[in-house]
Structure 1
Amino acid sequence: MSVVRVRGGRWADSAKMMAAARAAESADGVTRALCFMGTPANREEAAGFGITDPAIDAAGPDDLVIAVLGEGAEQGADAAEEVLDRAPGATATGGPAVRGPRSLASASADVAVVSVPGEYAALEAHKALGAGMDVLLFSDGVTVADEVALKTRAHDLGLLVMGPGAGTAIIDGVALGFANVVARGSVGVVAAAGTGAQEVTVLLDRAGAGVSRCYGTGGRDLKDDVGAVTALDAIARLAADPGTDVILCVSKPPSPAVAGRVLRALAECGTPAVACMVGGGVDPVDGVALAGTLEEAALIAAGLAGHPASPVPPPRAGWVSGGDVRGLFSGGTLCSEAAAILAERLGTVRTNAPAGRARPLEGEPRGHACIDLGEEEYTRGRPHPMIDPAARAERLAIDAADPDVGVLLLDVVLGYSSHDDPAGVLAPVIREALAARPQLAVVAYVLGTEADPQVRSRQEAVLADAGVRLAPTNAAAARLAAALAG
């Protein structure tokens, strides 16, 4: 059974559409739910999932489509509509709503968060710049040419464009997008890495240093085509901030030439600086501490800020499981860092988020492999795994049953916008897998704080009760997995 409902001329941002799809899939008897704007690309993706209907064919880019499969499709569609109809600021129980501005021009704010389909995102970001606001451009699907144009214009206006695809920022103590609840402090963060930003801000909080501001730049910012426009402007802004005593810059694998430019800017900004370019391959620059892992970078930055801390000792590997390591990640930067660490210790490691000596993944994973399940090929028609871990739980069950896999490596990312109980979704699958294969080892790292809505210690307790070996950082989890694989 299928139900398709098209709302003509209605728009919703990607986060709300994901929440609507998740609500629909939680209804009994629903096997698949999609919520999307009727662009040609989205209609094609729906057809790829076997969802076709004349109403979908007739939908246009400004029409909102709800498509639900399964015996409970009607109830699922009702649940999706309830989420979509919820007023801004209202709670699921019908709490008070706060009416937002009807246009960017009428908004009175310093920062605009833009989350619209990629083909419209650049225009909305330009409107926000014209209104004098920094932009957190959450949307993907923005061309490199539009990104360069936006960031160049922002530079000329003395503003910042964080993104596209920037999911994390902390400004004046306010967390935007996928961010954790961390204490305010004196370390400013510039990050071309979403979960990389989350990892270092959480570890800075744990060390007692805290965060003054965190600017996500978007993953392409340190590539040759973009040239680190936002990163360089963010460094200058933090260097001029009296509340920032140390600057920490992190990036997914960058262009070496652009990374060199960023390191020189850090060395010359007049503020003590640390950098971590995941996977290495970047020449050091005098005056900047260059760290090999996100954990090391956070600890160095905390020490420079007057809060020296030592790494939390990881658990002992004990018995060796043997077999392949299979990493199933929701965070792209965490996946890259883990793959690079595993490749140093185990030799050939393949991944769709290559860094260091890890090699690109081709086809289905074989041997040691790390998969970023947040990449587009895994999220078409489904929410990101940080928002809804159900798809990762399905993949976990498949890999756990593979007799060649000896160690499963997971990240569990907490904070705003993430699922309210990711461990609760994964734990039953893990418990069943370990019952079927007692020789299997499952290693996980919970990225979060006690102040996060999900509460780090509660999530860890659920996983530990299911038989998971917990590590204190992402890097420590990767090293433990390598040791267990022998």
Structure 2
Amino acid sequence: MRAFNFVWPSAYHDSVTLMRLTRDLESVPGVARAAAMMGTPQNRVLMQDAGLLTAAGEAAGPPDLVIAVVAADEASARQAEGAARAALTGRATTGGGYGATPRPRTLASALRAVPDANVALISIPGLYAAAEARRALRAGLHVMLFSDNVPIDQEIELKRFARERGLMLMGPDCGTAVVNGVPLGFANAVPRGRIGIAAASGTGAQEVMSVIARCGEGVSHVIGVGGRDLSDAVGGLAMEQALEALAADPGTSVVCVIGKPPGATVARRLESQIERVGKPCAMHFVGSGTASLEDCARDAVALARGEKHHPVAFTVPDAELARVASEARRGRRPEQRFVRGVYSGGTLAWEARSILDATLGDVAPGVTGTGSGHRVVDLGEDIFTVGRPHPMIDGAVRREWIAREAADPATAVLLLDVVLGYGAHADPAGELLLAIEAARDQAGQRGAALAVVASVTGTDADPQNRSAQVSRLRGAGVAVMPSNAQAARLAARIAAR
């Protein structure tokens, strides 16, 4: 096996398209690894570190597309390039047949095609994203900036620039939003309703909106602000605008604020901003206190109904919980002591880590999968997705980590998230089942039993159908809990001595 690179000059494609293309390339016979990335300096370093870069790729520039594969021979590599060309040519038109209208290649041509557009979704390399976002703002468009790795000084400048023009910049690294009922990025199919969400978290927003929908309420808007917005450096610039927008929206009766803990200065400012909203507000910052994303969603539902939410650790009946925990412990060997979380969602991973730490202790810091005790890994982090699709799109990297954790004789419980919605894999549960079965077989060969606990973030209206996904997992012996928080608590209970 060796690396082959094919460079296509001036052939830009957005990161989501390229992540999906990578999955397709790795299915070509004779191809072991693949990446499709723009030839920016940062991407070339990533490909070099992953063993995917050759001299041809090293010579590529930022506007060039690099198709990189590790293949058995040149014929396999060229077959992969042909597959990439066929896939991207097919996606380059609005239809699939002869004479189909080409997709716009610039913001200006997109505006000519859709002159009444008022939102631009930008997904290009972070080094160049700010310039494109500024063009969109100058054109009078609100911006959802999906791109990450945008320098923080550019983020601050863009958000101030947007505010001066009465516009909103959501992001950078904003993966989830719902505006006037229209889902953007990785979002779930939820009904319109009276609860508005302002979120500095993508999968956190998905968990909250999904729980709200399953409780019988709906969402007016989900405004993503970007993961760094609540830092003191950025100052909560977009969060302030989001709160103002939800306060002014007649269709929003209750406001829900979620994210990671804000900086000290932003936290003080948020208190007064929330008071000015003048509407009931539910608020949760992952890792602070004992509440959960589920609690925040249920609190918002209760506020919308004029009720009071009384948090509980589990909504599953005690008898059922005891049965599930007892079955999960059956066959466990003395050396099996630890929970190992293998996650696709960053905020969900942090929530699981926080709950495990509060319940069990001895949890590795961060969500990088390091440490010899209880540990959680967020496989959506850049370090794990070099040349590979995000785990919400493709489960390959998760399957590898499931096998890795199952091979450790100290693993007692595998803790997983399954995230549904637009943009996610068509059958994420099915993607994991073979790996779960193999992990259990591997434990069985040692005379051990491996417990698997999961949650499914989504709704029955999602393209994947939550009930169907839950049924598939339970049919394979996975203990599926109603929320990520409840799954983490059950995993801790199973592992506790």
Report the TM-score when normalising by structure 2. 0.90
Counterpart Cα distance in 2 of 1:88 and 1:460 = 36
Q: State yes or no: 1:77 paired with 2:91.
A: no
Structure 1 residues 469 and 96: alpha-carbon distance in aligned structure 2, compared to 1, 3 A threshold: farther
Q: State yes or no: 1:22 paired with 2:10.
A: no
On the 8 A contact 2:50/2:386 being kept in 1, the answer is no
Counterpart Cα distance in 1 of 2:371 and 2:99 = 48
Residue from 193, 201, 213 that aligns with 1:185: 193
- Counterparts of 1:75-474 in structure 2 under 5 Å? 75-88=79-92, 90=94, 99-106=102-109, 107=111, 108=115, 109-280=117-288, 292-306=291-305, 312-313=315-316, 316=321, 317-319=325-327, 320=329, 321=332, 322-353=336-367, 364-438=370-444, 439-474=449-484
1:471 corresponds to which letter in structure 2?
M
In the TM superposition, what is the alpha-carbon distance from 1:81 to its structure 2 partner? 2.0
In the TM superposition, what is the alpha-carbon distance from 1:167 to its structure 2 partner? 0.2
Structure 1 residues 416 and 51: alpha-carbon distance in aligned structure 2, compared to 1, 3 A threshold: same
On the 8 A contact 1:121/1:142 being kept in 2, the answer is yes
Identity %: 48
* 1:301 aligned counterpart, secondary structure: helix
1:419 corresponds to which letter in structure 2?
H
In the TM superposition, what is the alpha-carbon distance from 1:307 to its structure 2 partner? 8.3
On the 8 A contact 1:352/1:372 being kept in 2, the answer is no
In the TM superposition, what is the alpha-carbon distance from 1:10 to its structure 2 partner? 0.9
Moved more, 76-85 or 384-393: 76-85
In the TM superposition, what is the alpha-carbon distance from 1:227 to its structure 2 partner? 0.7
Aligned to 1:288: none
On the 8 A contact 1:335/1:372 being kept in 2, the answer is yes
1:424 corresponds to which letter in structure 2?
G
Structure 1 residues 346 and 473: alpha-carbon distance in aligned structure 2, compared to 1, 3 A threshold: same
Counterpart Cα distance in 1 of 2:238 and 2:163 = 8
1:421 corresponds to which letter in structure 2?
D
On the 8 A contact 2:122/2:133 being kept in 1, the answer is yes
Counterpart Cα distance in 1 of 2:247 and 2:384 = 39
On the 8 A contact 1:431/1:467 being kept in 2, the answer is no
On the 8 A contact 1:16/1:83 being kept in 2, the answer is no
In the TM superposition, what is the alpha-carbon distance from 1:39 to its structure 2 partner? 1.6
* 1:437 aligned counterpart, secondary structure: helix
In the TM superposition, what is the alpha-carbon distance from 1:458 to its structure 2 partner? 1.8
Aligned to 2:6: 5
In the TM superposition, what is the alpha-carbon distance from 1:351 to its structure 2 partner? 4.0
In the TM superposition, what is the alpha-carbon distance from 1:102 to its structure 2 partner? 4.3
Structure 1 residues 125 and 73: alpha-carbon distance in aligned structure 2, compared to 1, 3 A threshold: same
On the 8 A contact 1:351/1:371 being kept in 2, the answer is no
Structure 1 residues 460 and 79: alpha-carbon distance in aligned structure 2, compared to 1, 3 A threshold: farther
On the 8 A contact 2:171/2:224 being kept in 1, the answer is yes
2:77 corresponds to which letter in structure 1?
A
Counterpart Cα distance in 1 of 2:394 and 2:280 = 39
Moved more, 305-314 or 254-263: 305-314
On the 8 A contact 2:22/2:387 being kept in 1, the answer is no
In the TM superposition, what is the alpha-carbon distance from 1:260 to its structure 2 partner? 2.9
On the 8 A contact 2:282/2:300 being kept in 1, the answer is yes
* 1:350 aligned counterpart, secondary structure: coil
1:326 corresponds to which letter in structure 2?
R
In the TM superposition, what is the alpha-carbon distance from 1:428 to its structure 2 partner? 0.5
Counterpart Cα distance in 2 of 1:134 and 1:342 = 39
In the TM superposition, what is the alpha-carbon distance from 1:216 to its structure 2 partner? 0.7
Counterpart Cα distance in 2 of 1:384 and 1:351 = 23
On the 8 A contact 2:8/2:65 being kept in 1, the answer is yes
Counterpart Cα distance in 2 of 1:307 and 1:17 = 46
1:104 corresponds to which letter in structure 2?
L
Deviation sequence 1:17-40 (CA, Å, 0-9, x none): 111111101223321011011122
Counterpart Cα distance in 2 of 1:384 and 1:229 = 28
2:65 corresponds to which letter in structure 1?
L
In the TM superposition, what is the alpha-carbon distance from 1:100 to its structure 2 partner? 4.3
2:434 corresponds to which letter in structure 1?
P
In the TM superposition, what is the alpha-carbon distance from 1:425 to its structure 2 partner? 1.5
Structure 1 residues 365 and 268: alpha-carbon distance in aligned structure 2, compared to 1, 3 A threshold: same
In the TM superposition, what is the alpha-carbon distance from 1:87 to its structure 2 partner? 3.3
2:190 corresponds to which letter in structure 1?
V
Counterpart Cα distance in 2 of 1:98 and 1:419 = 28
Counterpart Cα distance in 2 of 1:352 and 1:187 = 31
Instruction: Identify unmatched segments of 5+ residues in structure 2.
Output: none
Counterpart Cα distance in 1 of 2:97 and 2:281 = 47
In the TM superposition, what is the alpha-carbon distance from 1:249 to its structure 2 partner? 0.4
2:424 corresponds to which letter in structure 1?
S
Structure 1 residues 236 and 298: alpha-carbon distance in aligned structure 2, compared to 1, 3 A threshold: same
1:437 corresponds to which letter in structure 2?
A
